[in-house]
Structure 1
Amino acid sequence: MLGNSIGDMVKCWEAMNNNLRLQLENIRASFQKSFYEVEHAHISPFYGYLRGSVSRAALRRIAEELLRVDYIGANRQICDCTLRTSYRLPCACELGRYTLGGIPIPIDVVHVHWRKLTMEVELEVGADDGSEVDMTCAMDELWKRFRSLDVIGKRALKSRVCELAYPTMTPLCPPPEKLKTKGGVKKKGKKPAEYDVYRDPSYHEYVDKASQSSQRQSQPSQTSKKLKLSKKQPQFIFQFPNHIRSYIKDVVNVESDEVRESLMIESFGSQPPEKWLTLPDMGYLIANLYNVVLVCLGNPCMTFFPMTSSHSPNVSIYCIDFVNHNHWVQVNMKEGFSLPPVTLDLRKFRSHTTITWMLGFTGRLQHWQLLTLVLA
């Protein structure tokens, strides 16, 4: 426009005016898209209060931040809250709390800047007579149209109105009775090799299972009392967190002589405690060398995923704990037990390959957070 000195002020003014009009139309078009167009990533009822009321740019930032919830959860200390401090949008720890609570994102947590989807100036107090926001005529016409339609048309119109009135609801309904899936796992706890139908239970299944177990624990029976007094209970059971004791099958202990022999190295003698296996220093070394998921159930509890391979549903999970302050034991857990959080090193040096492990075990990681929040 101003690339050369040819022309006069009138032509330059017209060119600037045309550019401003073009930008204004683009902004208005983006507002209309935010009103009526819904991207596939925002179809979930989790965004129900935000669709049509918040700009799509804000929804995209929230969707990207939601991916961090898989390995941050609701921990405010780990979340740097950059999105909240820089853009006034909910950050990962806030989204994690909404996810655990099963509630949609409230619109009040989004700054008013992202909710302004119009170029019009707000009217002064007392200047509005109510005619611009009056919906009486529109509602009357809507009722007339509803009465004039047949049954199919009434259902279609009602579904459209319900989408506006109940943005967080979904028209999908659960089946009236539980369906028998073909080819499912027949026996609990047994998973055939190379069985591609088997999957990790979802987060909601973990919550249902936890609520059922809590109800059973609230009504103790004679059988449960006998189990508590049984000699088959592992002798180290009280050295584990309370919320995972029900998932422990047994503890593989070693004799004291075997512990002493393991600490003896030829020509070097017995090794001091500073040369024993320590976590988290050796955790990722074991996970990467043997391509397994290593879980420490001691203090602190932590999970070590392999950092050199991608997620596999048939991976072996080994649980260990440091008992009596002198040796490690192997802990055999029941199928589907919850996993403790990952270490800070994994969050700092994670890669796309490592994230696949956290995504594959999202349900178990979130279940652990749910149990710790309930106990807290």
Structure 2
Amino acid sequence: MGNIRASFQKSFYEVEHAHISPFYGYLRGSVSRAALRRIAEELLRVDYVGTNRQICGCTLRTSYGLPCACELGRYRLGGIPIPIDVVHVHWRKLTMEVELEVGEDDGSEVDMTSAMDELWRQFRSLDVIGKRALKSRVCELAYPTMTPLCPPPEKLKTKGGVKKKGKKPAEYDVYRDPLYHESYIEDVVNVESGGNCGFRVIASLHGYGEDGWPMVRRELGLEIIDKDRSTLYDKLFSNRLSEVRESLMIESFGSQPPEKWLSLPDMGYLIANRYNVVLVCLGNPCMTFFPMTSSHSPNVSIYCIGFVNHNHWVQVNMKEGFPLPPVTLDWKKFHSHIATTWMLGFAGRMQHWQLLTPVLA
């Protein structure tokens, strides 16, 4: 009995590596580990099943009450986390407690267990920005006599990605353009190609894992229609707004045409604003993208990506304090007044870039 109870507790609090992806955000801590393992195995079939029901066969759905490959394909294609209600209630009963009779005094009026469990579930399902906001609100309740500001979150770790073996591409732009970059590069992490490589890199840097690229596409799609920044994007993209938005939408898995690739500077603005990070692109040209509607933060995460062979994005891990390339003219033209603090906060590193550039001219 003790082992069974311990198994239930594991389903609540322990997360297996395969289930870290935000794709499982609504399920972690809410369904059994056995169900998560079956779903993870079924997810491997998505690459060749896609959303085709005939190829899928839907065995997992009909036999176990769990989402099958074609269902998972639709969620993945849309960058949507697996909804909790598509999992049969059998897999969601993570308790061994017997339900009390109606009317029995069980102290439920003052019991916060369910509320706290739901709070944790919501917290685990949120992205980094959402977690910061929720944590801030909880801190206000927990420490009413203290400042409402919470300590700044730790930087997301950009290391730990699986480095693909093999020779570097013959035209490795990250190292060659400009040459002095090499002294500031710690390592380069490759990702799978196929038209989603840029979104794979951002997903990896953001902690989603490389396979979280559909989530990035979806979140950037939500960013471009954000009401608070609609005026900004109308100015930035002008009559290309619908074109930029459509570039984020895909209809099938597999290789994507060039118009669906991560393109700069368009995606640079969206990424920096959506995730409140500094995005640095090493390639031709080299560019820095600061958030356009927020103020400078000394603890901001810097995502560095490189464009190689004129058709592929990679993750570039840089040494601390590396020089930053200039921002775009449109960033200078359309950023909010408060966003000027980003330029001030990184002035030294941007001046360092300017000092080095003439040497290579």
SS of equivalent residue, structure 1 residue 282:
helix
Q: Give the direction of change, closer, same or farther, for the CA distance of 1:353–1:57 in structure 2 (3 Å limit).
A: farther
> How far apart, CA to CA, are the structure 1 residues paired with 2:173 and 2:62?
44
Q: Give the direction of change, closer, same or farther, for the CA distance of 1:371–1:264 in structure 2 (3 Å limit).
A: same
Q: Give the direction of change, closer, same or farther, for the CA distance of 1:136–1:75 in structure 2 (3 Å limit).
A: closer
Q: Give the direction of change, closer, same or farther, for the CA distance of 1:175–1:50 in structure 2 (3 Å limit).
A: same
Q: Give the direction of change, closer, same or farther, for the CA distance of 1:174–1:30 in structure 2 (3 Å limit).
A: same
For residues 252-271 of structure 1, the C-alpha deviation after alignment (integer angstroms, 9 at most, x for no partner) is 999xx999999999999999
Equivalent pair of 1:200/1:336 in contact (CA under 8 Å):
no
> How far apart, CA to CA, are the structure 2 residues paired with 1:27 and 1:175?
39
> How far apart, CA to CA, are the structure 2 residues paired with 1:349 and 1:250?
34
Question: What residue is the counterpart of 1:186 in the other structure?
Answer: 163
Q: Give the direction of change, closer, same or farther, for the CA distance of 1:138–1:186 in structure 2 (3 Å limit).
A: closer
For residues 210-266 of structure 1, the C-alpha deviation after alignment (integer angstroms, 9 at most, x for no partner) is xxxxxxxxxxxxxxxxxxxxxxxxxxxxxxxxxxxx999999999xx9999999999
For residues 93-147 of structure 1, the C-alpha deviation after alignment (integer angstroms, 9 at most, x for no partner) is 0000101111111111111111111111223344466527632999999999999
Q: Give the direction of change, closer, same or farther, for the CA distance of 1:324–1:111 in structure 2 (3 Å limit).
A: closer
1:249 aligns with 2:208: no
> How far apart, CA to CA, are the structure 1 residues paired with 2:147 and 2:180?
19
> How far apart, CA to CA, are the structure 2 residues paired with 1:79 and 1:113?
23
Q: Greater CA radius of gyration, 1 or 2? A: 1
* TM-fit CA distance, 1:198: 12
SS of equivalent residue, structure 1 residue 78:
helix
* TM-fit CA distance, 1:315: 39
Matched residues, number: 311
Q: Which moved more, 1:132-141 or 1:149-158?
A: 149-158
Q: Which moved more, 1:319-328 or 1:26-35?
A: 319-328
> How far apart, CA to CA, are the structure 2 residues paired with 1:165 and 1:278?
44
Equivalent pair of 1:81/1:91 in contact (CA under 8 Å):
yes
* TM-fit CA distance, 1:88: 0.6
Q: Give the direction of change, closer, same or farther, for the CA distance of 1:132–1:343 in structure 2 (3 Å limit).
A: same
Which segments of 5 or more consecutive residues in structure 2 lack a partner in the other structure?
Answer: 192-241
* TM-fit CA distance, 1:41: 0.7
1:363 aligns with 2:348: yes
> How far apart, CA to CA, are the structure 2 residues paired with 1:372 and 1:110?
56
TM-score with structure 2 setting the length: 0.35
> How far apart, CA to CA, are the structure 2 residues paired with 1:154 and 1:264?
26
* TM-fit CA distance, 1:159: 7.5
* TM-fit CA distance, 1:162: 9.9
Equivalent pair of 2:154/2:299 in contact (CA under 8 Å):
no
For residues 337-356 of structure 1, the C-alpha deviation after alignment (integer angstroms, 9 at most, x for no partner) is 99999999999999999999
Equivalent pair of 2:325/2:353 in contact (CA under 8 Å):
yes
* TM-fit CA distance, 1:202: 27
SS of equivalent residue, structure 1 residue 278:
coil
State the identity as a percent. 91
Q: Give the direction of change, closer, same or farther, for the CA distance of 1:253–1:179 in structure 2 (3 Å limit).
A: closer
SS of equivalent residue, structure 1 residue 189:
coil
Equivalent pair of 2:18/2:40 in contact (CA under 8 Å):
yes
Q: Which moved more, 1:137-146 or 1:347-356?
A: 347-356
Equivalent pair of 1:283/1:304 in contact (CA under 8 Å):
yes
> How far apart, CA to CA, are the structure 1 residues paired with 2:92 and 2:101?
19
SS of equivalent residue, structure 1 residue 357:
helix
Equivalent pair of 1:322/1:329 in contact (CA under 8 Å):
yes
Equivalent pair of 1:340/1:368 in contact (CA under 8 Å):
yes
* TM-fit CA distance, 1:64: 0.6
Q: Which moved more, 1:82-91 or 1:168-177?
A: 168-177
For residues 21-75 of structure 1, the C-alpha deviation after alignment (integer angstroms, 9 at most, x for no partner) is xxx1111000000111001111111111111111111101100100101111111
Equivalent pair of 1:49/1:105 in contact (CA under 8 Å):
yes
Equivalent pair of 2:279/2:288 in contact (CA under 8 Å):
yes
* TM-fit CA distance, 1:86: 1.1
Q: Give the direction of change, closer, same or farther, for the CA distance of 1:332–1:143 in structure 2 (3 Å limit).
A: closer
RMSD of the alignment, in Å?
Answer: 20.9
Equivalent pair of 1:320/1:329 in contact (CA under 8 Å):
yes
> How far apart, CA to CA, are the structure 1 residues paired with 2:27 and 2:161?
38
* TM-fit CA distance, 1:77: 1.4
Question: Structure 1 residue aligned with 2:265, among 280, 289, 298?
Answer: 280
SS of equivalent residue, structure 1 residue 269:
coil
Q: Give the direction of change, closer, same or farther, for the CA distance of 1:162–1:349 in structure 2 (3 Å limit).
A: closer
